[in-house]
Structure 1
Amino acid sequence: MAPKPPLSELPIKTADVGFYRGFSVNVTVISKIIISVLVVWAIVWPEWAGEVLGAWNAVILNNFASWYIWTVTFFVIVCLGLALWPTAGRMNLGQPGEKPEFSNFSWFSMMFGAGIGVGMLTWAVAEPVAHFKNNPSVIQGVTTALEADNVRTAYVWSYLHWGLGAWACYAVAGLALAFFSYRRGLPLTIRSALTPLFGKALSGTLGHIIDIVAVVATILGVAQTLGFGVEQFVAGLTRIGIGGLALEDGSATTLGIIVALLVIMGASTLSALSGVGKGIKWLSNINMVLSIALLSFFILFGATWFGATAFFVGIWDYLVALPGLSFNVYKSDGVEGSEAFLLAQWQGWWPVFYWAWWIAFAPFVGLFLARISRGRTIREFVLGAMIVPSLMCFVWFAWAGGTAVDLELNGNAGGLILDAANGDKIFAMTEFMLSPISQVLAWGMAAMIVVLLMTFLVTSADSAVLIVNTINAAGDEGPKARPHILFWGAALGLVVAGLLISGGTGAIQTAMVIGALPFSIVMVLMCFALIKAIYNDGRREAAGVPTTHGEIQAAAATPAE
């Protein structure tokens, strides 16, 4: 008996008239209520919010560390398996013969800018320096903090956090959404990716819950990025001579937070109103050009040879260590200060935090990747969305971070970079490098980094606003009502402000780790749904049964999963 054609229709009820016309009222209103309650709670009762979030964070880190680590490992295995699987690799994320909408340069620019680009300006310098000072090998006495024997280990951990695991989270979400939306003709929303498992039941309450979880995770994941970005943006403004926005320790004042968010969210909301094809594409191309210019400075005038060694040797060390690190979970013995306690604590601060961050970021980046990747094959998508961005991250960490590590290792910086706040490290390093030559050059470099940081932040924020509205509008990619764009732009800014006020970036980190947990379950289900769908499509193709929305319509078949 020949298999039936796949499900190619998933009706989602949206309002026909009124303020919510075109939107799923259930998803939109409940999402707004959840985020609004979080904002009010964090701003009106900051101490209470900080205490509760901290307690929840401890519970999750104690009980779900292994879940986060093994789940991301599963995503890497699934993505690489799909790329190697002949049946899957050749499938087009669109209709037969459809070509990509964007050139490779624009595709990579938007993918990198919206995905992790903003993180490079903070963590490409800060993270290798942090791991150079402390990591599990230092805790276990295998290597020595701030000494040459710890450099390679520092890069293994840096590459682990920003390499294949990070981009596998995005690739899973993006691939599932593109497959079911552009091949099957289903709505471009999270619930569509689970149709092989739950079918038309996703039109109702179950689908609403999945999309609400995705919206909340998106807001919290992007809030984490913006929280770090705001701190760094304020540090940059201080470096170029705008005072009163930061305290002596480098942290942003309340005034600094407000000014930074007004600038960033104002620009991002205006960009979001212009859509992906205009504002976001234009900003992505600008920040890619500025990124190349800044990176070229580090390669040419920074630790050129040290960076090259960190890049090539670091990748080798990372790939050798990857199988072991992908499954390793440190268990605390409950004795504060013991080696087991410190290892588990470090893992919570770094790998678990990062995996939660990437998972929370996945509905946003995944849906965005799907939107810009229509017409590409699954193999092209997986390799392009995992390997190329990972290599770009490694380049940044090798030369930008390598310059910082080299300056500290050789004693030239004398702790200047090491002691600076994470967001301020790149400014401290470039000023140290350029100020002996020219104060004007040092100021100009700081100003360029501020502009680059702003374009990255605006790209991330306006993309998030558009993605949230797409989910709320049952996958409609068309123009959204301006009031809803303005609401989510303001809501995102208030979430960041509220959590920063209630507990700094630590509060945002905690809220994000909590929000990522339910969506991680959704992503695991996405993997099984995608594998099932591809396997069944292979059987359908062999039997001559249509597999894409266009073919199903042409054959006038009755849709069924």
Structure 2
Amino acid sequence: MPIKPPVTELPINVAQQGFYEGFTKDVTITGKLAVGALIFWAIAFPAHAASVLQAVNGMILATFSYWYVYAMAFFMLLCFGLALAPVSGKLRLGLDDDRPEFSNFSWFSMMFGAGIGIGMLTFATAEPMYHFASNPATIMGLTEGGAANNVRDAYIWSFTHWGFAAWAAYAVVGLSLAYFCYRRSLPLTIRSALTPLFGKMLSGPLGHVVDVVAVVATVLGVAQTLGFGVEQFIAGLARIGVGDWLYATGPDGETSSSTLAIILALVVIMGASTLSALSGVGKGIKWLSNLNMGLSFFLLAFFLIFGSTFFGLTALFVGMFDYVLSIPGTLFTVWTRDGAEVGDALANWQGGWTIFYWAWWIAFAPFVGLFLARISKGRTVREYVLGAMIIPSVMCFVWFALVGGTAIDLELSGVAGGAISGADQSDQLFAMLAVMLDDGLALLMSIIVVVLLLTYLVTSADSAVLIINTINAAGDEGPKARMHILFWGAALALVVGGLILAGGLGAIRTAMVIGALPFSFVMVLMGLALIKAIYRDSLRLRHGLPTTHAAVVAAE
């Protein structure tokens, strides 16, 4: 039976003139309508939106917990399998003579900025502290919350959520896009990764649906990230003395960010990010990336020198050892409600943490994955997978161990006196700085954190706008019409603001879990398509047939 040649052409109709010149109207307009409808619903009918989103979220957690857990396990096993298999590991993401465009250091630095960023500032303190107080081991009575014997379990789950599985989700999307774009010369857009399964059918409505799902998932995934960042930005402004008006007390006595503070934060963040996106990758985004990289290493060095260094380094190495040993169990475990107190508590914990994270990484995967593909041309599959999964994971572990470890040590030793554990999630990093330093130095470091947070927020938002436009433009990074950049910048701000006003960060979390579900199916299909493509390429190599296709560049 002859081996069919791979699909090397995927024509996607784009407008040749007018407002949508260079863009796929079906994808762009549908995506705008979907996001616009969500914004209108959240702002015009906040109570109804919150209740419906919560009901759908409950249904998803009850029905699709197994799906999310097993899908993430599939991504992780697939990545390591492709990297370690001799046939696939040596394949190059590009033509045979292509070599990496960026040095290893630059490549690692860009991956660090793309996938970690804001999360480190919020969760490097908050997540170890939360799991130190409560995790499955404490629920089952194996350890005591807030005690020294619970530190190791706290880091097992912190590393589980931010480790190999998270980066496997990003790596699958990036690997699929890079493989089909640089080896097949297909457009750098999500639908291209499904060509081994659906062929040229993806030029039409099926492909449009895939790209629209990716756009909506990206908006909601980035909105979740921006939502956490906005809350922490407001907490930082309060710490440096901007004013009491940043917070409001509701009828139930609960204190939360005021509407005015949310609007101010979003105007500053999205205004700066839109200006950066308009300036392009080579100017605004590059300058901001360099700034936040420098400030990130400064902050990390501060905790390495002045934090609980021995405690943090012990947590790092013991935590990594425990984490690796725990992977076979944590990767496939699903807790479901069984009517018993412990069983229901475990299911609630997993839904609020692990399932939430898996949905977040899946929703964020089109954004980070497309970026990883853009910077990885010329690398082998083995080099790409191991670099894109292990190095960023270890950087996450370092942050969690040094920053979160300092917070835990200050609480264990009694120095903090509950000041860190009693603070809101968005305020815990600032609370720790206040415990560690005198008022003047704490103010200075808080200002540095606020500036770093702002640069990460702006970088994430402007990069997301450009990635969304790349998908809408059928993979062409060229057309970035000013009005489309302004629209998506405003849309992101309104999604974040509307959902926060509708139900706080919980509303964003709920919308994101729902939005990630359709794209999780797309990602599983991407993984299956990649397996099929690599298998077929191995047969072509065995028969001396070409496995790559160079794009034909038209003469000017």
Normalising by structure 2, we get a TM-score of 0.97
1:421–1:443: structure 2 CA closer, same or farther, 3 Å change rule? same
Which residues in structure 2 correspond to 1:549-560 (within 5 Å)?
549-550=549-550
- 1:41 aligned partner: 41
- 2:450 aligned partner: 450
Q: Does 1:359 align with 2:349?
A: no
Confirm or deny: 8 A CA contact 1:4 1:540 kept in the other structure: no
Amino acid at match of 2:419: L
- 2:169 aligned partner: 169
Confirm or deny: 8 A CA contact 1:106 1:281 kept in the other structure: no
Partner Cα separation in structure 1 for residue 323 and residue 248 of structure 2: 38
Q: 1:378, CA displacement in angstroms?
A: 1.1
Confirm or deny: 8 A CA contact 2:92 2:381 kept in the other structure: yes
- 1:200 aligned partner: 200
Which residues in structure 2 correspond to 1:292-331 (within 5 Å)?
292-331=297-336
Q: Does 1:277 align with 2:282?
A: yes
- 1:559 aligned partner: none
Confirm or deny: 8 A CA contact 1:35 1:216 kept in the other structure: yes
Q: 1:289, CA displacement in angstroms?
A: 1.3
Confirm or deny: 8 A CA contact 2:22 2:479 kept in the other structure: no
Confirm or deny: 8 A CA contact 1:2 1:543 kept in the other structure: no
Deviations 1:286-324 (A, max 9, x none): 211111110111111111010011000000000111100
Amino acid at match of 2:272: A
Partner Cα separation in structure 1 for residue 319 and residue 402 of structure 2: 12
1:401–1:504: structure 2 CA closer, same or farther, 3 Å change rule? same
Confirm or deny: 8 A CA contact 2:102 2:375 kept in the other structure: yes
1:278–1:92: structure 2 CA closer, same or farther, 3 Å change rule? farther
Q: 1:553, CA displacement in angstroms?
A: 6.1
Secondary structure of 2:246's match?
coil
- 2:97 aligned partner: 97
Which residues in structure 2 correspond to 1:221-236 (within 5 Å)?
221-236=221-236
Q: 1:431, CA displacement in angstroms?
A: 1.5
Q: 1:111, CA displacement in angstroms?
A: 1.5
Partner Cα separation in structure 2 for residue 158 and residue 329 of structure 1: 17
Confirm or deny: 8 A CA contact 1:4 1:545 kept in the other structure: no
Deviations 1:180-217 (A, max 9, x none): 11111101100000000000000001000000000000
Deviations 1:417-471 (A, max 9, x none): 0011111100010121111xxx221111001001111111111111110110001
Confirm or deny: 8 A CA contact 2:23 2:479 kept in the other structure: no
Partner Cα separation in structure 1 for residue 409 and residue 40 of structure 2: 45
The one of 384, 398, 401 equivalent to 1:395 is 398
Amino acid at match of 2:424: A
Q: 1:4, CA displacement in angstroms?
A: 3.3
Q: Which moved more, 1:415-424 or 1:1-10?
A: 1-10
- 1:368 aligned partner: 371
Q: Which moved more, 1:487-496 or 1:102-111?
A: 102-111
Q: 1:541, CA displacement in angstroms?
A: 2.0
Partner Cα separation in structure 2 for residue 296 and residue 324 of structure 1: 34
- 1:287 aligned partner: 292
- 1:470 aligned partner: 470
Q: 1:250, CA displacement in angstroms?
A: 6.2
- 2:133 aligned partner: 133
Q: 1:114, CA displacement in angstroms?
A: 1.9
Q: 1:285, CA displacement in angstroms?
A: 2.1
Confirm or deny: 8 A CA contact 1:110 1:285 kept in the other structure: no
The one of 331, 334, 343 equivalent to 1:340 is 343
Q: 1:2, CA displacement in angstroms?
A: 4.9
Q: 1:223, CA displacement in angstroms?
A: 0.2
- 1:541 aligned partner: 541
Unpaired runs of 5+ in structure 1? Answer: 555-561
Amino acid at match of 1:142: L
Deviations 1:378-398 (A, max 9, x none): 111111110000000000000
Amino acid at match of 1:424: D
Amino acid at match of 2:471: I
Partner Cα separation in structure 2 for residue 474 and residue 22 of structure 1: 8
Partner Cα separation in structure 1 for residue 217 and residue 57 of structure 2: 15
Confirm or deny: 8 A CA contact 1:231 1:251 kept in the other structure: no
- 1:377 aligned partner: 380
- 2:503 aligned partner: 503
Confirm or deny: 8 A CA contact 2:274 2:462 kept in the other structure: yes
Amino acid at match of 1:245: L
Q: Name the % identity.
A: 65
Secondary structure of 1:100's match?
coil
Partner Cα separation in structure 2 for residue 68 and residue 174 of structure 1: 19
Q: 1:359, CA displacement in angstroms?
A: 0.3
Amino acid at match of 1:355: W
Partner Cα separation in structure 1 for residue 104 and residue 256 of structure 2: 39
Q: 1:31, CA displacement in angstroms?
A: 0.5
| RMSD (Å) for aligned C-alpha atoms | 1.3
Partner Cα separation in structure 2 for residue 190 and residue 250 of structure 1: 42
- 1:32 aligned partner: 32
Amino acid at match of 1:303: S
- 1:413 aligned partner: 416
Secondary structure of 2:414's match?
coil
1:119–1:144: structure 2 CA closer, same or farther, 3 Å change rule? same
Normalising by structure 1, we get a TM-score of 0.96
- 1:245 aligned partner: 246
Secondary structure of 1:549's match?
coil
Q: Which moved more, 1:273-282 or 1:131-140?
A: 273-282
Amino acid at match of 1:290: L
- 2:123 aligned partner: 123
Q: 1:77, CA displacement in angstroms?
A: 0.1
- 1:557 aligned partner: none
Amino acid at match of 2:199: G
Q: 1:283, CA displacement in angstroms?
A: 1.8
- 1:71 aligned partner: 71
Q: Which moved more, 1:504-513 or 1:180-189?
A: 180-189
Partner Cα separation in structure 2 for residue 133 and residue 390 of structure 1: 23
